[in-house]
Amino acid sequence: MRILVGITGASGSPYALSFLKLLKQKGVSVEVIVSEAAKKVFSLETGKDLEILSELSERLYHEDEIAAPPASGSALYHAMVIIPCTMGTLAAVAQGLAKNLITRAADVMLKERKPLVLVVRETPFNLIHLKNMVAATEAGAIIYPAMPAFYHRPQNLTEMVDFFAARLAEFLGLQIEELKRWRGLG
């Protein structure tokens, strides 16, 4: 499996980090595109510099590398995940504004009818956000909001974030044996 990961400047960079670590552990081939805003938010929220994104991926692209492979449908990715996904990037994807490598690659995934997962993060939503989520869904994207679960009783933030990342990986078709599953009450 080859996965393309876009990281934008929404709060929630730890989700991206956890997801990339899990994909690497599972031997998945990953390429990453990072937006300018994400560079700032990622460092702020994770305390790590971008070097770690290079270590966790086969290639790291910057949003202005518009001629890079992800800009073309001939590049073979099974799925693209934008994690976290800002309302700005959601809007661009929903309206087909392929102005940087992330939004162009997302546009390509939609035209090639391949899975595009948007881990949107904002609260509260305004009507524009909600309409853009509908438009993106109608175009074939999957809105996968950064909404953590609590039924597995996370003991700390790391467990909460890792659970979200593991569920996302399973959503893409990977098998995560270590995932705590709901087994019913009692």
Ligand X SMILES: Cc1cc2nc3c(=O)[nH]c(=O)nc-3n(C[C@H](O)[C@H](O)[C@H](O)COP(=O)(O)O)c2cc1C
Q: Which two tokens stand for residue 116?
A: 């595009």
Helix (H) or strand (E) holding 130: helix 127-138
Identity of the residue, 134 or 179, whose beta carbon is nearer to ligand X in the bound complex: 134
Q: Does 89 bind ligand X (CB under 6 A)?
A: yes
Return the residue nearest ligand X (CB atom).
9
Number of neighbouring beta carbons within 10 Å of residue 53: 23
Which 3 state secondary structure label does DSSP give 157? helix
**Toward ligand X, which CB reaches closer, 38 or 81?**
38
Based on CB atoms, which residue is closest to ligand X, 59 or 62? 62
Phi, psi for residue 152 in degrees, rounded to 5? -90, 5
Binding string, 92-131, against ligand X, x = CB under 6 A?
Answer: -----------------------------xx---------
CA-based nearest residue to 112, from 144, 141, 133: 141
Q: Should residue 87 be labelled a site residue for ligand X when binding is judged by CB under 6 A?
A: yes
Q: Nearer to ligand X by C-beta: 49 or 170?
A: 49
Unique residue bearing structure tokens 């595009």: 116
Q: Which of 3, 8, 71, 119 binds ligand X (CB under 6 A)?
A: 8
Regarding 86 and contact with ligand X (CB under 6 A), the answer is yes
- Alpha-carbon gap, residue 147 to 78, rounded angstroms: 24
Secondary structure (3-state) at 162:
helix
Interface contacts to ligand X, rule CB under 6 A:
8-11, 35, 37-38, 40-41, 44, 86-89, 121-122
